[in-house]
Amino acid sequence: MRIGNVRILAGILFIILIGRLFYFQIIQGNFYYYVSNKNCIRLLPHEGVRGKILDRHNELIVDNRISYAISVLPQEFRQNAGTLSKLAVLLSTPTSKITKAIKKDFISSFVPIVVAKDVDKKTAFLIEENKFELPGVIVQIIPKRYYPYHDAASHLLGYVAKIDTWRITKLKDYGYKMRDIVGFGGLEEYLEHDLRAIGGGTQIQVDHRGRVQKVLGFREPLEGRDVSVTLDIKIQRIIEDAFAGRKGAAVIMEVDTGKIIALVSSPGFYPGAFTDSDQAEYVSGILRSPDSPLMNRALSGLYPVGSVFKAIVAIAALEKRKITPDKRYFCPGKLLVGAKEFKCWSTHGSQNLVEALTHSCNVYFYHLALLLGPDSLTEYALKFGLSKPTGIDLLHEVSGYIPSVVSRRMKLRKWYDGDTANFGIGQGDVLVTPLQAARLMGIIASGGKYIKPFVVRKIADQEIIPPEAAMLTLDPATLKTVIEGLKNVVNAETGTANIGWGDLRVAGKTGTAQVHTKLSHGWFAGFLPYDKPRFAFCFFLENTGPSINCVILAHQVFNKMKEENLL
C-alpha cells in the first residue's frame, strides 16, 4: 500500500515537472529567447595604476600614461566577415591579424581578448561610435608605463612585461593570473609587491545592441604604491652620456650613508619596449646581443680588479706590522718568483709604500704579497666585503670570488708563490663587482665604516631606515698613509691618474686588469673630495684597454657635475 502511494506521488511530481518544462520551452519559449538575446551580462575590467618611481629630488623617473586597447568579448563577438572587415578597417590592420590574436589569447568566453594595443584616441573614439555595428567589441583604458628619460637607469629600474610561466607558477597563490603585467629585474621586480596594482571591474547588463541596462556590481581597482629612491637622475644621465654606449659600469654612492646616487650599466636598453608589440624586433635584438645589454654589470658582472686591490694589500701589510710606510723595495721592472718572471708595467727604481701606490708599482706589491702570504691577503679581502654580496636592495647581485689556499686544496690543486704574487696585484682568480669596488673605497674614505649600499629611501609615506653601519677596526695611521697614496695617484705629477683635475680634490686608484686573448679591463675607483669625503665611486670599462680611459671618463663626469652644481 505504501509503495503504491509513493509511486503515485512520484508520478504526480513527474507530471508537474513535464508540465513546467512544456510551459517554459514551448508556450513561453519565444519570450525567453527574446529576453536572452536582448540582455546579457558583461564584465568590464578596470586596470589599476602601477606605483610610480621618483628620484631623490622627487623627479619622476617612471610614470604611467593612458593607453587605449581594443578588445573583443568572445561570448558576444560575431566573428563574421562583415564585423571582422569593419573592425579591420577602423584599426587599419588585416582581418587575419585580428583572427590570429583571438585564437592565440582565448582563455574563456567571459575574458576580453586584446586585438589592438596602444591605439590612438581618434581610433578609440571611432570604434566607440560604431559599437552598435561591432557587437562584442569594447574600448579599454589601460595604464601603461611611461619613461620620461627614455632608457636612463634601465638596469636599476628594470622593466614590466607579461607574466611568464615560471612566475605564474610561483605567484598564482598571490592572486596573479595569466596575462598580468609584472616586474622583471631592477626595482620593478624587487618591489613588485609594492608597485603592483590590483585590477577591479564593473559587471553590467546590456541589451542585444550593447546598450547598458544596469550596473550589477563594481570593484574599485587598487593602485600600486609610489617608491622614492636615492638616485639622482641628473647625475645618472651625465654618466650614461659619457659612456656613449661603451661596455662597462659606474657607481657613485654616499660615503657616510651608503645611498646610491648613480648606478650605471652600459650598454642599456629601453624598458618600454617590452610592452610594445611594435618593438618586438628591438627586444629580440637585445636578447640576442653578444654585449648582454640586460645584464647589470654594476652588481652582476664579475671581473679581475687589477691594481685597485693594492689598496687592500697596503692596509694588510701595515695592519699586520709587516712593513712601515717608509719600507722600500727596488723595482727594476720585473721580479723573479720561483722560476717565473713577473713584470711591472714600468721601471720605478726605489719605492716606499706611498710612492708604490702613486705609481702602481707591481714589483713593490709582489714583495708585499709574498711577505704577507695568501692567508693574510684572503683575510683582508674578506674583511673589506669582497667575495660576498654588499646586500644592496636589488636582485641578482653576485658574490664575487676571492681565492684561498683552502679552496684551492679542496679542488686538489696546489698553491704556488706565483699565485700569491698575482693575488697581490688583483689578478689571477680575484673577481669583484664594480659595486664592491666602490664600497671598498667608501670604507677607506669613511675611516672604516662598513656601509651597506641601498637604493630605496621611501615606499609610499614610509621612510626606509637602513641598518646601522659596522666599523672595521683599523689603525687611523694606516688609513692616513693609504689615503695619502690614493691622493697622489690623482694629484702627484707622476700619479697614474694625473690628467689635470684642477680643484676637484679626487683620490683614487687605477687598475688595468689583463684578460686572456682580449683587451684589458680598465678601473678607476676612489672618493671625493679627499679632505672631506662625500662620494665614493667606481668607473669600469670592459675590454677597452688601460685604466687611463676610465680616468678620462671619470674626469669628464665630475667636471660636468661641477658645472651643474651637483658636487
Residue 97 pLDDT grade (very low, low, confident, very high; cuts 50, 70, 90): confident
Got the DSSP string for 30-67? HHHHHHHHH-EEEEEEEPPPPPPEE-TT--EEEEEEEE
Kindly state the average pLDDT of the residues 180-194.
Answer: 94
Kindly state the average pLDDT of the residues 412-427.
Answer: 95
Considering the domain architecture, whether residues 289 and 430 belong to the same structural domain is answered as yes
Considering the domain architecture, whether residues 195 and 255 belong to the same structural domain is answered as no
Q: Which of 207, 224, 241 lies at the terminal end of a domain, its last residue?
A: 224
Buried b (16+ CB within 10 A) or exposed e, 22-37: eeeeeeeeeeeeeeee
What is the pTM (predicted TM-score) of this model? 0.86
Considering the domain architecture, whether residues 177 and 279 belong to the same structural domain is answered as no
d(CA 251, CA 442): 11
- Among 8-12, 53-57, 149-153, the least confident range: 8-12
- Domain total of the chain: 2
Q: Is residue 31 part of a domain?
A: no
Query: Residue 447's pLDDT is what?
Result: 95
> The CATH number of the domain where 375 resides is what?
3.40.710.10
Residue 514 reports pLDDT greater than 60: yes
Considering the domain architecture, whether residues 186 and 320 belong to the same structural domain is answered as no
Kindly state the average pLDDT of the residues 517-546.
Answer: 95
Beta strand spans in 392-534 (E): 449-450, 456-459, 462-463, 470-471, 507-515, 518-528
Strand order in the sheet with 248-254: 260-266, 248-254, 535-541, 518-528, 507-515
Considering the domain architecture, whether residues 143 and 289 belong to the same structural domain is answered as no
Residue 111 pLDDT grade (very low, low, confident, very high; cuts 50, 70, 90): confident
* Packing angle of the helix pair 95-105, 81-91 (nearest 10 deg): 100
73-88 pLDDT per residue, tens: 776 676 666 778 888 8
Considering the domain architecture, whether residues 512 and 464 belong to the same structural domain is answered as yes
Q: Is residue 494 part of a domain?
A: yes
Could you give phi then psi for residue 104, rounded to 5 degrees?
-70, -40
Q: Which of 178, 201, 224 lies at the terminal end of a domain, its last residue?
A: 224
Q: Is residue 157 part of a domain?
A: yes
**CB half-sphere exposure, 126, CA atoms < 13 A:** 12
Residue with cell 564585423: 83
Beta-bridged to residue 337, according to DSSP, are 340
Considering the domain architecture, whether residues 515 and 414 belong to the same structural domain is answered as yes
Considering the domain architecture, whether residues 420 and 535 belong to the same structural domain is answered as yes
Residue 510 reports pLDDT greater than 90: yes
436-445 pLDDT per residue, tens: 999 999 999 9
Kindly state the average pLDDT of the residues 397-421.
Answer: 94
Considering the domain architecture, whether residues 406 and 271 belong to the same structural domain is answered as yes
Q: Is residue 66 part of a domain?
A: yes
Query: Residue 374's pLDDT is what?
Result: 97
Query: Residue 247's pLDDT is what?
Result: 97
Beta-bridged to residue 22, according to DSSP, are none
Query: Residue 504's pLDDT is what?
Result: 95
Considering the domain architecture, whether residues 330 and 301 belong to the same structural domain is answered as yes
Q: How large a percentage of the chain has pLDDT more than 70? A: 90
Q: Is residue 17 part of a domain?
A: no
* Three cell numbers, residue 556: 669628464
Q: Is residue 36 part of a domain?
A: no
Q: Which of 224, 259, 288 lies at the terminal end of a domain, its last residue?
A: 224
- Identity of the residue numbered 322: K
Considering the domain architecture, whether residues 248 and 220 belong to the same structural domain is answered as no
| More reliable by pLDDT, 411 or 76 | 411
Query: Residue 33's pLDDT is what?
Result: 55
DSSP letter at 259? B
Residue 106 pLDDT grade (very low, low, confident, very high; cuts 50, 70, 90): confident
> The CATH number of the domain where 140 resides is what?
3.90.1310.10
Residue 23 reports pLDDT greater than 70: no
Residue 171 and residue 104 in contact, taking contact as beta carbons nearer than 8 Å: no
Residue 364 and residue 396 in contact, taking contact as beta carbons nearer than 8 Å: no
Range of the domain at 467: 233-563
- Identity of the residue numbered 540: F
Considering the domain architecture, whether residues 246 and 201 belong to the same structural domain is answered as no
Q: Is 480 helix (H, G, I), strand (E, B) or coil?
A: helix
Distance, CA of 287 to chain centre: 15
Averaged pLDDT score across all residues of the chain: 89
- Among 93-107, 313-327, 469-483, the least confident range: 93-107
Residue 326 and residue 313 in contact, taking contact as beta carbons nearer than 8 Å: no
Q: Is residue 14 part of a domain?
A: no
Residue 110 pLDDT grade (very low, low, confident, very high; cuts 50, 70, 90): low
